[in-house]
Amino acid sequence: MSLPEVLLWQELRMRPEALRFRRQHPAGPYVLDFFCARHKLAVEVDGEAHARGDRPARDVVRDAWLRAQGVRVLRIAAAEVLADVEAVVLHIGRVARGEYPSTGFAGPPPPPGED
């Protein structure tokens, strides 16, 4: 696992908001960085390599396959995990509960009452 994945796993393994995640979870021909079975949510930590070569196209195919299986995919930039892992964990919790769509992470969530 990469450093951002290790840092995120250290937080997710403490079961924030009673969410249980598995790491390196097999899903068909793929291995998910993190998976919450209860909410059918895959969390993928993307480093800069995900923007190079054929990776973006491969990620689109992978995400489509996962969606066809009923799995939501949340992609988070590795830099965001390094910058503020606690905010990332809060965002993951909100996505898992359906408060936000699983379209990615764009900074820390707004304070309570300001969403």
Distances (CA, A) of 88 to 43, 65, 77: 11, 25, 10
CB contact burial 25-63 (16+ within 10 A = b; e otherwise): eeeeeeebbbbbeebebbbbbbbeebeeeeeeeebeebb
Mean pLDDT of 54-73: 92
Distances (CA, A) of 86 to 11, 65, 71, 93: 8, 29, 24, 11
pTM: 0.83
- Contact assessment for residue 1 and residue 47, using Cβ atoms and an 8 Å cutoff: no
pLDDT band (50, 70, 90) for residue 104: low
Q: Report the alpha-carbon distance of residue 81 to residue 68 in Å, rounded.
A: 27
30 has a pLDDT exceeding 70: yes
pLDDT band (50, 70, 90) for residue 47: confident
Residue 32 is predicted with a pLDDT of 97
Q: Report the alpha-carbon distance of residue 59 to residue 24 in Å, rounded.
A: 16
- Contact assessment for residue 2 and residue 78, using Cβ atoms and an 8 Å cutoff: yes
Kindly list the domain boundaries of the chain, sorted by start residue. 3-96
Q: Which CATH number fits domain 3-96: 1.10.287.1260, 2.40.50.140, 3.30.70.1090, 3.40.960.10?
A: 3.40.960.10
108 has a pLDDT exceeding 70: no
15 has a pLDDT exceeding 70: yes
pLDDT tens per residue across span 64-83: 999 999 999 999 999 999 99
**Residue predicted with more confidence, 11 or 102:** 11
